[in-house]
Amino acid sequence: MESIYNMTFDKLNIYFHDLGEKSYRTRQLFDWLYIKRIKSFKEITNMKKEVIERLEKDFYFDALEIKAKEEAPLVIKYLLKFKDNNTIEAVLMKHDYGNSLCISSEVGCNMACSFCESGRIKKIRNVTSGEMVLQILKIEEDLKLRISHVVIMGIGEPFDNYDNVCNFVEIVNNNYGINIGSRHITISTCGIVPKIYEFSKFPYQVNLAISLHAPNETLRSKLMPINKVYNLDSLMEAIKSYLKENNRRVTFEYIMLNEVNDTEELALELANLIKGMNAYVNLIPYNETNNIGYKRSSKERIMKFYDTLKKNNVNVTIRREFGGNISAACGQLKTVKEAP
Ligand code: SAH
C-alpha cells in the first residue's frame, strides 16, 4: 500500500491506464484530493464502485498530527507528528504577497553545519513526498487559508532526499491540484554538487537557493562540513553550469556571524566570487540558539557588509526577520525525540 499523496499526476495516469480507465480519472482524483480535500475514497461520487474499491486496496490516506503550535505576529510554527511518531517542524509566514510555508524535507539532518540547530539530531529518515504535501494540506486546513509559496528550508537537506523533493514539486505544482506556481517554490541546498547538476535538468522552473555562508574554502569548511566533500570551487562550477542551462537567477544565502564571516575583506571576496553571475545575495541575520557559541553580527556590521557588496555591484538584500522569538526562524527548527 502506498500513500495516495505520494502519487504524481503522471504516475496516476499510468495507474488508471493499467486499470483500463480513461485518463480523466486522474483529473477527477486530483480534484477530490486537493480541491475537495477528501479523507477517504468513499467520498468519491463520480467513479464506479469497482474503481473506488481498487483505490482502497492500493492506497491509503496518510495523515499528520499537529502536536504543538506557537504563534507570533505573522508567523506560526507547527510541530507535526508523522504516523511513525517522528516529528518535524513547519513554519507559516504571512507576507504581503501571500502566505509562505517553510517545510521540512528530512527527519533530522546529516549536514552538521556548525551554526545550525536542525543538525543536532542526525537524519532518521527521509520525509516522503506525500508527507511534504501533507504539511501544506494540514496547515491550510488548520488556518483556513491558502498557501501561495513554499520554501524547502525547514529541517533537512532537500538534495539529500532528491527524488522525493522533485516528486513533491510535481504534485503541488500540478494545476488540477494544489497548483502552486513553480516560481513560488524555492529549494535551498547546502551544496550537494552532483544534485545541482541533476537539478539543472529538472523541467520545473523552481527557485534555487544556495547556503553559501563563506566566500573561501578554509572558512566554509570550518562552518560547513559538506565543503570538505564538495568544495566551494566545485560548487561554484556547478552553479555556473546550472545558470547556463536555465534562464534563472540563484540566491546565495549568507548568515551573518559576528566576527566570523562578516568582515569587509570577506565582503570583497564574496563580491569577487560571484562577479558576473546572475545571482543575488540574501544576508541573514544569525538567529542565536541556546547551545552554540556564535553571535549575531551587529546592525552596523551587517550594514557595512551590505554596503560593500552594493558598491561592488552585487544584488543584495537583508532578510526580513520572522519568528525569532518563538524559535521558528532559520536554523532553529529541530526534530524532537519523544516517546510515542
Ligand atoms: N539544508 C538546506 C535547507 C535548510 S535552509 C540548506 O542548508 O540550505 C535553512 C537556512 O537557514 C540555510 O541557509 C541555513 O544555513 C540557515 N541557517 C541555519 N542556522 C541558522 C541560524 N541559526 N540563523 C540563521 N540562519 C540559519
Q: Considering Cα of 148, then 153, then 154, then 157, what sign does the dihedral take?
A: positive
C-alpha span between 122 and 302 (Å, rounded)? 31
212 C-alpha to ligand 1 centroid (Å): 10
Question: Which ligand 1 atom minimizes the distance to the CA of 332?
Answer: 22
Terminal-to-terminal C-alpha distance of the chain: 23
Please give the pLDDT value at position 199.
97
Nearest CA to ligand 1 atom 1: 157
Check: CB of residue 195 under 8 Å from CB of residue 189: yes
**Is the shortest distance between the CB of 323 and ligand 1 below 6 Å?**
no
How far away, in angstroms, is 289 Cα from ligand 1 center? 12
Q: Does 153 contact ligand 1 (Cβ within 6 A)?
A: yes
* Mean pLDDT, all residues of the chain: 94
> Mind telling me the catalytic residues?
89, 330
Taking residues 310-315, what's their average pLDDT? 97
pLDDT at 123 (0 to 100) = 97
Q: What is the per-residue pLDDT for 72?
A: 85
The answer to whether the CB of 62 falls within 8 A of the CB of 308 is: no
> What would the pLDDT profile of 232-258 be if each residue is shown by its tens digit?
999 999 999 999 999 889 999 999 999
Using the mean position of ligand 1's atoms as its centre, give its distance from the Cα of residue 170 in Å.
Answer: 24
Rama region for 276: left / alpha / beta (φ>0; ψ in -120 to 50; rest): left
CB 180 within 8 A of CB 173: yes
β partners of residue 252: 210, 281
Q: How confident is the model at residue 192 (pLDDT cuts 50, 70, 90)?
A: very high
Distance CA 179, CA 33 (A): 12
Q: How confident is the model at residue 323 (pLDDT cuts 50, 70, 90)?
A: low
Spatial distance between the Cα atoms of 89 and 168, rounded to a whole number of angstroms: 17
How high is the pLDDT of residue 204?
96
Closest residue by CA, ligand 1 atom 3 = 153
Q: In this predicted model, which residue has the larger pLDDT, 261 or 334?
A: 261
- How would DSSP label each residue in 277-326? SSEEEEEEE----TT----BPPHHHHHHHHHHHHHTT-EEEEPPP--GGG
Q: From the CA of 266, how far away is ligand 1's center (Å)?
A: 19
Residue 55: the pLDDT is 98
Q: Is 294 near ligand 1, meaning CB less than 6 Å away? A: no
Ligand 1 pocket member 287 (CB < 6 A):
yes
Atom of ligand 1 nearest to the CA of 331: 19
User: Which residue's alpha carbon is nearest to atom 4 within ligand 1?
Assistant: 153
pLDDT band at 340 (very low <50, low <70, confident <90, very high): very low
Would you place residue 62 in the very low, low, confident or very high pLDDT band (cuts 50, 70, 90)? very high
Candidates 100, 123, 188, 250: which one to mutate for ligand 1, based on the most atoms within 8 Å of Cβ?
188
Residue 321 confidence (pLDDT) above 90: no
Smallest CA-to-CA distance from 125 within 109, 136, 148 is with: 109
The burial class, CB within 10 Å (0-12 / 13-18 / 19+), for 1 is: exposed
Distance 157 CA to ligand 1 centre (A): 10
Give yes or no for residue 339 having a pLDDT over 60.
Answer: no
Q: Domains in the chain, please, with CATH?
A: 2-60 (1.10.150.530), 65-326 (3.20.20.70)
| DSSP assignment letter at 127 | P
- Whether the pLDDT of residue 143 is over 70: the answer is yes
Give the mutation target among 100, 102, 159, 253 for probing the ligand 1 site: most ligand atoms within 8 A of CB. Answer: 253
| Eight-state DSSP code of residue 193 | H
CB of 189 shorter than 6 A to ligand 1: yes
